[in-house]
Amino acid sequence: MITTVTGKHQITIPAKLAAAMGIVPGCRLEWQPTNQPSVIRVRVLPDRKAIANGLLGAGRQFLDSSVAAKTSR
């Protein structure tokens, strides 16, 4: 797949590639140079909201029951 860089240094990700990689509007991509001058590594970063939701309440099992009663929502 070939894309063109615009005057504002933007690119369009081909729809098939975006769908296969789960890239949706608002996704964050990490761009890294490699040892090869013409190769750039791009990584889709995990969604912050999904990470936060996964961590919500994760430490409750380690709370003392009296502390847990005071801090429960």
3: in domain = no
**Residue-number span of the structural domain to which 49 is assigned:** 15-71
Task: State the pLDDT at residue 67.
Answer: 64
5: in domain = no
35: in domain = yes
Residues pairing with 30 in the sheet: 43
Task: State the pLDDT at residue 66.
Answer: 66
Strand ranges inside the chain, DSSP E: 29-33, 40-44
7: in domain = no
* pLDDT of 69 strictly over 70: no
6: in domain = no
Residues pairing with 29 in the sheet: 44
59: in domain = yes
Please tell me the total count of domains within the chain: 1
8: in domain = no
Q: For residue 65, what are its two tokens?
A: 């029951």
Q: What is the pLDDT of residues 6-61, one digit of tens each?
A: 999 999 999 999 999 989 998 999 999 999 999 999 999 987 777 777 777 777 77
Q: For residue 63, what are its two tokens?
A: 């709370």
